[in-house]
Structure 1
Amino acid sequence: MHSPQQTSPTLNAMQFTDSKKAQLLQTLKRLRFNGQLTLTDPNKKQWIFLLYMGHIIYATGGTHPVRRWQRHLAVHCRQMHAQTFACKSTLPGINPEDSNSCWEYQVLRLWVAQGKITHEQAANMIRAVVTEVLFDLTPAKCVTHQIKPDKSLATPMILIDVAQAVTEAQQFCQVWSNAQLAAYSPTSAPVIKQPEYLKKHTSEQVYQSLSKLLNGRNTLYDLATQTKRDIVQVTRSLLPYIESGLVELIAIPDLPTPFDAPSPDEPLTPVKSSEPLIACIDDSLLICQTMKKLLTKTGYQFVGISDPLRAIATLLACKPNLIFLDLVMPNTNGYEICTQLRKLSVFRDTPIVILTGQDGIVDQVRARLVGATDFLSKPIDAEKVLRVMNKYLEPDDVN
């Protein structure tokens, strides 16, 4: 039998059944292979497995690898979830282009070495990620494979037996199929297709809940993580709405990697200095990027601030014409920041619009008392954002 080094790096396209995918991994296990296995489908989608002595030590790729990373951080490494997008500036030595590794695995190794997460947390996250990657790989029928031997891999954080990993993925496939969900992908995002009809035929409470969750920005996997429920239960609960046509499942893009994302606390898109500058303080980089895309498209300058503890200093440096401020953030909150801003003469009259997922009267009254100008409900709606801009920016600011 040929060793991995002697095997042709890329085979002609061939039909891979689930058993053949498993056989390939089992063969590499018998060969005690060290390195990377990459599977590629006809649409150029890739699934990557890092192997040490034939055992899986990490897996990535497929559909939404960054969303997957973020979700499993939220479950297994909560203390690091909000820090993912600081990777570019705070993780020296991490190379996202390293062909013999992957940035997710490098980050986990570094965090364990720094004592920021435990070995157990990393191991639990890796197990969950590997199972999900194998499940994501299941529908791919025509794939090529490529192997890159690498004997320099450091001692791994965990060794996952190939047979065990494949069995767990197959068990999840069976559960998904038994729940009558085989026609649906958990990486798709539910969105309300007929809002008026849904509003008439459900209670106000149910409609409001569905409106906030089913905004087309979160996958079924994301919703399961956010609601702390099982993915099968979440999808089954939506099935009546999906089958009736009230809700549809759509494909959405992955999140940017931390290395693709701009630094969160610096102006994201400097445009002409004569244009109004809008600031957004929100610990969610996704919210900042959504606002950036909308506002720069309409000609405004934009600065996003995801670290609330640095908000005041950043705002003093750039002096925006209008501030969007998240109400609920770690370490501090919108009330405290708004109070501090109003004590500064430079921000005494600056419009401050509170971003909130809560519609409670108490929250609004409290925010008004500390100087908030207005409120904007999440999820972000482009029309409402632009309406706020027109309402509070003077004509001279816009021209």
Structure 2
Amino acid sequence: MTTTKDGISHTRTRIQQFNATKQLEFFESLKLAKFSGQLAIHDVQDTSWTLYLYLGRIVYATGGIHPVRRWRRNLVAYCPQRLAHFNEIQLELATIPEEECRISWEYKLLSLWIDQKKITREQATRMIKATIIEVLFDLAHPIEVFCQTIKDNLISTRLVLIEAEQVIAEANKLWQAWQEAKIADRSPDMAPVIRQPEALKKRTSSQVYQNLSQLLDGQQTLRDLSIRMRRDVVTVTRSLIPYIQLGLVQLITIDDIPPPVSPPIAHKLSKGISPHRILIACIDDSPQICQSMEHIMRSAGYQFVSEMDGLRAIAVLLNRKPDLIFLDLIMPNTNGYEICTQLRKLSYFKQTPIVIVTGNDGLIDRVRAKMVGSTDFISKPVDEKLVLGTIEKYLSKKV
């Protein structure tokens, strides 16, 4: 357990296979402890979720790869009357006091709409419950998760208190159905798109083809389509499997949609977000070093990415765009000097802290590292206090 300067206590737990059984055990422990605050969860791909609890009961959940899509489709399903006033949402968010902006804007909107009698408490409850079930369903997939409990009292208004056992059972029922349909290797957050329109047209009736052409545009996920078609996501996905297996339709990964928040409001809303979502990268050909660095980063609450192949390092770093890079000096086929030189030629990494890590702590190495644009230089074996101190030194504003 750690305690921040403001007195908020944090506890982190590493869990293998966060399935229904382990979810039940974990939430039961929170219920027995009468825990109130945030449960922050992230997996090894750095996807993160946040659940808000009061005395061990779940109040709300958010996060995942498509939090805004989830909010939008649940709005369609449970509060459709608000869609007619969608343009008002930015103004409504602007009325939320700054000190209340540390919890998710989706939940604050529901509270506001209930107060203004724009939706019923029953509508909000159904939307919250559906959101929590979807989050718990998604958490059944990762091989490993890291759970961080943060004791606080952010939620002044508790719209509903949901027993974890109930929503875990419902999420597990959906997960079992997903597995039994033999589609567990696919994500309901993927979007179907037609790849061979002429071949698909020959295999279907004109009416079916017309419907598929309108629906499978690559802009709507399987979950989005299930709401639009008013059918459960398993049924929708199974109906598309024959076309997918023939290569006529493909499932692709798509981004989340932008939140209905203007930049100034988004800045205000982001002020209370936990600072522990900084991404640290380690480029080192040693599995032991990568594992040691990962343990240090995960324990401190940072996101982490590593790459042991120096030739792939730049591609990985460009894809993930870390906030700080620990870079090994000596690697097969390349070295830290060359990688650092190439990174500094890229506009995105001109200001990114790059810390050279090596067992050769010599003056010549230090001078050369400085000449190629490195920010700092630390010696192996890596020391946890030195590593975390280096991060705080160069990312103090973010940390």
- RMSD of Structure 2 on Structure 1 (CA): 2.8
Of 8, 23, 28, which aligns to 2:30? 28
User: What CA distance in whole angstroms lies between the structure 2 residues aligned with 1:256 and 1:167?
Assistant: 31
CA contact 1:62–1:137 (8 Å) conserved in 2: no
For 1:200-349, list aligned pairs within 5 A. Answer: 200-260=202-262
**Deviation per residue, 1:169-190 (Å, 9 max, x gap):** 1111111112222122111100
User: What CA distance in whole angstroms lies between the structure 2 residues aligned with 1:215 and 1:152?
Assistant: 40
User: What CA distance in whole angstroms lies between the structure 2 residues aligned with 1:67 and 1:104?
Assistant: 11
**Deviation per residue, 1:282-322 (Å, 9 max, x gap):** xxxxxxxxxxxxxxxxxxxxxxxxxxxxxxxxxxxxxxxxx
For residues 24 and 174 of structure 1, do their structure 2 counterparts lie closer, same or farther at Cα, with a shift above 3 Å needed? Answer: same
CA contact 2:23–2:168 (8 Å) conserved in 1: no
**Deviation per residue, 1:310-348 (Å, 9 max, x gap):** xxxxxxxxxxxxxxxxxxxxxxxxxxxxxxxxxxxxxxx
Letter in 2 for 1:149: K
For residues 240 and 86 of structure 1, do their structure 2 counterparts lie closer, same or farther at Cα, with a shift above 3 Å needed? Answer: same
The sequence identity of aligned pairs, in percent, is 45
Of 129, 147, 150, which aligns to 2:149? 147
Of 128, 131, 145, which aligns to 1:129? 131
> 1:199, CA displacement in angstroms?
1.7
User: What CA distance in whole angstroms lies between the structure 2 residues aligned with 1:253 and 1:46?
Assistant: 15
CA contact 1:96–1:259 (8 Å) conserved in 2: no
Q: Which residue of 2 aligns with 1:81?
A: 83
> 1:260, CA displacement in angstroms?
4.7
> 1:242, CA displacement in angstroms?
1.0
User: What CA distance in whole angstroms lies between the structure 2 residues aligned with 1:96 and 1:234?
Assistant: 41
CA contact 1:96–1:103 (8 Å) conserved in 2: no
> 1:261, CA displacement in angstroms?
7.3
CA contact 2:103–2:154 (8 Å) conserved in 1: no
Q: Which residue of 2 aligns with 1:17?
A: 18
> 1:99, CA displacement in angstroms?
7.2
Q: Which residue of 2 aligns with 1:184?
A: 186
CA contact 1:241–1:247 (8 Å) conserved in 2: yes
User: What CA distance in whole angstroms lies between the structure 2 residues aligned with 1:261 and 1:205?
Assistant: 43
User: What CA distance in whole angstroms lies between the structure 2 residues aligned with 1:197 and 1:95?
Assistant: 56
Letter in 1 for 2:37: G
> 1:97, CA displacement in angstroms?
9.8
TM-score, length basis structure 1: 0.61
Aligned length: 262
Residue 49 of structure 2: SS of its match in structure 1? strand
Residue 37 of structure 1: SS of its match in structure 2? strand
User: What CA distance in whole angstroms lies between the structure 1 residues aligned with 2:160 and 2:17?
Assistant: 27
User: What CA distance in whole angstroms lies between the structure 2 residues aligned with 1:232 and 1:135?
Assistant: 13
User: What CA distance in whole angstroms lies between the structure 1 residues aligned with 2:180 and 2:98?
Assistant: 39
Letter in 1 for 2:192: P
TM-score, length basis structure 2: 0.61
Letter in 2 for 1:187: D
Residue 10 of structure 1: SS of its match in structure 2? strand
> 1:228, CA displacement in angstroms?
1.4
Q: Which residue of 1 aligns with 2:173?
A: 171
User: What CA distance in whole angstroms lies between the structure 1 residues aligned with 2:98 and 2:248?
Assistant: 41
